[in-house]
Structures are given as C-alpha cells and as structure tokens.
C-alpha cells in the first residue's frame, strides 16, 4: 500500500498541473522511473504534498537517476 501511495504521489508531482489535468495520470514506466529517487531523497517530505515532492526532486536533480530526470524534463519541470 505504501508503494502505491508513493507512486501516486510521485505521479502527480512529476506532472505540471496542466499536463496532469490533460493526461490524468503518468505512465507506469514514469512512476517506476522516479519511485526510488522519491524514496531515497524525498522520504521526509512525502506527506507534505505533491508540489513539495516535486521541489525536492528538483533540489536533488544532480543526484536523481537519469530516468527520473528525463521524466521531469518530459513534463517541462
């Protein structure tokens, strides 16, 4: 259940508001690409909301995986 919550939180965090409204959800591959990075770098802020997680990923951009970085870039983040 916790992994699902992390994936859903990540999903909404990795999409801009407009893209999220259009797409409804990211792909399973996009969720998978960033789940480890969220767990590793953003665990303390998981309960603080989607935009906080997105900010955390951006703050740790130099450390996150190339795959997660690509997900962020593909959503103009």
Which residues constitute the domain of residue 48? 2-74
* Distance of alpha carbon 13 from alpha carbon 52, whole angstroms: 8
- pLDDT confidence of 31, banded at 50, 70, 90? confident
Would you state the pLDDT for residue 2? 56
Q: Half-sphere exposure of residue 76, counting CA atoms within 13 Å on the CB side?
A: 5
Q: What percent of the chain has pLDDT over 90?
A: 49
Tens digits of per-residue pLDDT, 35-60?
999 999 999 998 998 889 889 999 99
Would you state the pLDDT for residue 18? 39
Q: Inform me whether the pLDDT recorded for 27 exceeds 80.
A: yes
Of 56, 65, 1, nearest to 32 by C-alpha is 65
More confident residue, 48 or 1: 48
Q: For the chain, what is the domain count? A: 1
């Amino acid at each position: 259940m916790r992994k699902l919550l992390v994936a859903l939180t990540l999903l909404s965090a990795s999409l801009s508001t407009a893209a999220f409204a259009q797409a409804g959800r990211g792909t399973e591959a996009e969720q998978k690409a960033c789940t480890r990075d969220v767990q590793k770098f953003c665990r303390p802020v998981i309960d603080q909301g989607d935009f906080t997680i997105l900010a955390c990923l951006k703050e740790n951009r130099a450390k996150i995986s190339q795959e997660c970085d690509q997900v962020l870039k593909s959503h103009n983040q």
